[in-house]
Structures are given as structure tokens and as C-alpha cells.
A = this chain, B = another copy of it.
Amino acid sequence: MSEHLLEVRVVLFSLSEAALQVFLIRQGENAWALPSCPARENESLEETALRALYGEFERNEIYLEQLYTYGGPARAVSVVYFALVPHNERRAAELCQHRVDRLPALTGDHAEIIAYALRRLRYKLEYSAAGFELLPQEFTLTELQRTYEIILGETLDKRNFRRRILDAKIIEETQHLRGGEGRPARLYRYRPDAVAEVKTRRLFP
């Protein structure tokens, strides 16, 4: 067993200003980087990921999943985590949100890592409940649809979207309404007991 340089990085997404955002830290003069933290022997990789976010988030308020481990000659080994958090103004001074469609200059291979995380997010959206991790506990169907549209980068049909989501029985009505400019919308909540597993058989779509 050898001694090795090992760090944990995090690609943390959230939604605000009707766009998908990623959290970055300033690196040097005018470059940015994914938050990271050296691994410690006495904590789990997930705990290290939370430390990389300056302890701003508790484990149970973000969705956290391992993305990939990058490593090789002439490079530290980086275990990269993929994370989602609902819209959130709180942030450490060092941690800024940037629209993923308008990223600043990034160090190393961080642009490719973000691109990969975004592909994974788009993919997960279609077979898992990941989308709900970006929304508050109660949300309207229109908000949910906007979330999907922003991430997928395409518009979706309102009736088909509602039908699929409701048929999947993955959300349930609440008794609350959200008022606004027009007719108030019913609020829904995610059913954590919902089965969100892949059942379809697809041989080479």
C-alpha cells in the first residue's frame, strides 16, 4: 500500500435566476476552480466533500453522489462528487455561484469535469428523482417543469409532462396553493417512498 496525494472535489449545482448554477472558488488572479479538500484518514470521503464546501451545508440538506475518480501520472488523485442543493442564497465568501452556460476561465480539467457532471445530471433527470433535489419541499408542477426544461435545455409539452410525472406516482398533492399573478397553483411534494427504479428493458436504443 503506497502513500498518495488524494483530494476530494465537488461539483455542486443549484438553480437560480432561471438558470443552472455551479459553485466555484476563486483560484489565483482571474481563474476559478471546483471546491476541493485533501482527504483525511479519519473521515469518510463524503465528509471530506462537505468540508470542501466550507462546511456551509449539512449532509441531509444536499444530494451527494460520487461522480468519478480522476488520477494518473503527474496529477493528484481526485475523487469527484456530484451534488445538488435547492435554491439558496447562503454561501461562504469564497464560494460563488456561476451559470453553467456562462462559466469563467477554469483551472486544470475542471471544465471537462463540470461538462461530465452536467451530462450525468441530464441523464439522471430522466430515470431518477434527482430533479426534486433542486426544488424546495413544496413546488408547483410548472416550477418542476421549468426545472426540467432548464437542465435539459429544451421546452417540454405541458400536458405530456404532467401526465408522465403524475402517472409515475412520484409526487403527491398538498393542501396548499401558491398565489401569484394569475390563477393560484397547487403545491405538490415529492413522495420519498416512491420507487424510482429503472424497469424498462432497452436493448440498444
Q: Which A residues lie at the B interface, using CB under 8 A?
A: 1-7, 38-45, 66, 68-69, 71-73, 76-77, 79, 123, 125-129, 161, 164-165, 168, 170, 194, 196-205
Pairwise interchain contact A7-B3, C-beta atoms closer than 8 A = no
Pairwise interchain contact B39-A123, C-beta atoms closer than 8 A = no
Give chain B residues whose Cβ lies under 8 Å from the Cβ of A79.
69, 71, 77
Give chain B residues whose Cβ lies under 8 Å from the Cβ of A123.
198
Contact for A39 among B40, B77, B128, B165, CB less than 8 A:
B77
Give chain B residues whose Cβ lies under 8 Å from the Cβ of A165.
203-204
Give chain B residues whose Cβ lies under 8 Å from the Cβ of A43.
72-73
Give chain B residues whose Cβ lies under 8 Å from the Cβ of A44.
71-73
Report which residue of A4, A43, A164 has the largest number of chain B beta carbons within 10 angstroms of its beta carbon. A4
Pairwise interchain contact B127-A41, C-beta atoms closer than 8 A = no
**13 A-B pairs with C-beta separation under 8 A:** A1-B5, A39-B77, A43-B72, A44-B72, A45-B77, A66-B68, A66-B69, A127-B204, A165-B203, A165-B204, A168-B204, A196-B204, A200-B205
Give chain B residues whose Cβ lies under 8 Å from the Cβ of A4.
3-6, 39, 41
Q: How far is B71's CA from A42's CA once the two chains are assembled, in angstroms?
A: 10
Closest to A131 in B: B203
Pairwise interchain contact B127-A170, C-beta atoms closer than 8 A = no
Pairwise interchain contact B203-A200, C-beta atoms closer than 8 A = no
Contact for A76 among B1, B40, B170, CB less than 8 A:
B1
Q: How far is B75's CA from A40's CA once the two chains are assembled, in angstroms?
A: 11
Instruction: Give the top 4 A-B pairs by smallest Cβ distance, nearest first.
Output: A168-B204, A4-B6, A3-B3, A44-B72
Give chain B residues whose Cβ lies under 8 Å from the Cβ of A161.
203
Closest to A44 in B: B72
